[in-house]
Structure 1
Amino acid sequence: MAEFWYRVLDFCKTTTEGLGHRLMRDFGQVSADRKSDGSLVTESDRWCDREIRSAIAATFPDHGILTEETTHTLPDRDWCWVVDPIDGTTNFTRGIPVWGISLGLLYRGTPVFGFLNFPPLRQVFYGYWSGQTDLIMPKGAYLNGKTIHTSPDDPSFNHLFNFCARSLDILKNPFPCKFRSIGVASYNLALVACGASLGGVEATPKIWDIAAVWAILQGAGGAFVHLEPNRVFPLKIGQDYGSRPFPSLALSRAELSPIFKPLVGFIGDRVVRQYRI
């Protein structure tokens, strides 16, 4: 099993490094089309998606693939890659240097490994989380090869909490931290994993936004709280996840849930009603 995980990590490093060189040439130089859900897509997204799918098929032919730009249905495979070829397409097209490639690996419908490469920032996150599975696998989370941990601190006005654009209603009431809006779901939550922020909330992320960072955050000692009533993982074979949001709260430690969840829980309630989750 150790050889398998070495192959997984090496594959992610090699593949995203090569793709990153090309994407850096396209960065801020391409135009975008609007998809039916209102999000943006560029030819760079499509090219990167094709390259990743081809690389997975060649290296792990028995693994399934679920990607933002093509296949949204979970296949009947024990192992499945969840791919966001460019997380942060709006930033990518506008020349804002916060965007990245996201690769999550599911085992029987639950994320167990995540890899995030942010080429403009020269930051690579990855992490392992076996959860309730019986897998024998590495542990921990890493940034540029160094072990990372979430912050042990209590909230204060000298600490940060990250918001998405659809969660700013939170600020109508007093909040115990300073706030930041990064504009990239995976990076928003990865900042919690590396200790920069105490928490982060994403109102309507899709599975390709959270699959990788779900494993990274928990591998770093953090807690991932889904702001919906039903259990999220494992995902269901044959279900289409193209339009399904996953309202989520990332925390540096589970003990902070009684502080932050009451402040952001209404976001989950609103999304559950709107999308009939």
Structure 2
Amino acid sequence: MTAHEAFALELARVAAGVTLPLFRTGAVAEDKGEPGAFDPVTEADRGAEAAMRRLIESTFPDHGVVGEEYGADRPDAEWVWVLDPVDGTRAFVAGLPLWTTLIGLTHQGRPVVGAVAQPYLDEVFLGGPSGARCVARGTDTPIATRACPRLNDAVISTTDPDIFTGAELGAWRQVRATARLARLGCDAYAYAMLASGHIDLVAETALKPWDWTALVALVEAAGGTVTDWLGNTPKDDGRILAVGDDALTEQALLTLRRAVS
């Protein structure tokens, strides 16, 4: 395990020290969304990100940080940590153990380390130069995506079909109609299951860099592929397609590409 991978685990531990005591304890959720669009944030989100930022600053003072709650600090640095302290705050508020802490590290803009941590289940899915692993309940187990060359046989996921608009929704429905099984509401945990060989494809839209940076590094380290809906490197439009078997990429893009072209 590289030093940066080990540090990502330490960041996950520090974040868990903030989030776990607040989970299922009635933590107050403020609404930071537009009128009619509930977008919750809690003291767990803010406290966990603040704790991770302090540790980064004391350990790697020359590294940049980009986080959901506190914005960007030296985003053009050679090394940048990209943080989402509670991805899936709605699940957190509802008491569902499908929220995660996302910790990504980029080098010259490219994701190289990614951690998806679910502290209530005592799981951290970690990907980087040394490969992909699940560190859980005292074990450290290698993980990898599975072979699934046909979309008809695939288990697929998205957080919520309501995130799609217009042609995007039609494209998702067509992919879902072709696949064997679809599961909803998993947020970033779905990508951890893809990296572990249980889910084959995840498609989403409107994601921010802190939502997807860690996922790219994890999925790629596990043998999968992450692109946008045109088959290119993910970018600011937030449309993400992650597959465990690259044979699925073009099959899904046949539909998804039409929604954005």
Provide the TM-score with structure 1 as the length reference: 0.80
Instruction: Check conservation: 2:151, 2:252, Cα contact below 8 A.
Output: no
* Residue matched to 1:179: 182
Q: Hey, what's the Cα distance between the residues in 2 that align with 1:110 and 1:156?
A: 29
Alignment of 1:16-95 (within 5 A): 16-28=12-24, 29-36=26-33, 38=37, 39-72=39-72, 75-95=75-95
Which of these residues, 3, 9, 24, is aligned with residue 5 of structure 2? 9
- Cα distance in 1 for partners of 2:227, 2:194 equals 13
Match of 2:119 in 1: 119
State the alpha-carbon separation in 2 of the partners of residues 12 and 257 from structure 1.
29
The ranges of structure 1 where at least 4 consecutive aligned residues each deviate by more than 6 angstroms after the TM superposition are none
Mapped contact 1:161–1:198 kept (Cα < 8 A): yes
Aligned to 1:253: 245
Unpaired runs of 5+ residues, structure 2, are none
* Aligned-CA RMSD value: 2.3
* Matching residue's letter, 2:66: L
Structure 1 residues without counterparts, runs of 5 or longer = 129-137, 234-243, 273-277
Percent identity of paired positions between Structure 1 and Structure 2: 28
Partner of 1:102: helix, strand, or coil? strand
Structure 2 partner of 1:150: 145
1:153 alignment partner AA: C
| 1:193 alignment partner, one of 188, 195, 198 | 195
1:47–1:100: structure 2 CA closer, same or farther, 3 Å change rule?
same
**Does the Cα contact within 8 Å between 2:64 and 2:73 map onto a contact in 1?**
no
Aligned pair count?
A: 245
Deviation of 1:230 (Å)? 6.4
**Distance across 2 between alignment mates of 1:140 and 1:12:** 14
Deviation of the 1:139 alpha carbon: 3.3
Q: Does the aligned pair in 2 maintain the 1:45–1:85 contact within 8 Å?
A: yes
1:262 is the counterpart of 2:254:
yes
Q: Is the 8 A contact 2:159 2:184 kept in 1?
A: yes
Distance 2:59 2:50 in 1: 14
1:98–1:120 contact (8 Å) kept in structure 2:
no
Give 1 or 2: higher strand fraction.
Answer: 2
- Per the normalisation by structure 2, the TM-score is 0.85
Q: Following TM superposition, by how much is the alpha carbon of 1:191 offset from its aligned partner in structure 2, in angstroms?
A: 1.6
CA gap of 1:266–1:182, structure 2 versus 1, over 3 A, is farther
CA contact (8 A) 1:201 1:264 kept: no
Distance 2:23 2:48 in 1: 13
For residues 18 and 139 of structure 1, do their structure 2 counterparts lie closer, same or farther at Cα, with a shift above 3 Å needed?
A: closer
With over 3 angstroms needed to count, the CA separation of the structure-2 counterparts of 1:246 and 1:86, relative to structure 1, is same
Provide the rounded CA distance (Å) in 2 between the counterparts of 1:20 and 1:143.
Answer: 16
Q: Could you tell me whether the CA contact under 8 Å between 1:85 and 1:101 is conserved in 2?
A: yes
Cα 1:73–1:195 shift into 2, 3 Å: same
Query: Using a 3 Å threshold, how does the CA distance of structure 1 residues 98 and 174 change in structure 2: closer, same or farther?
Result: closer
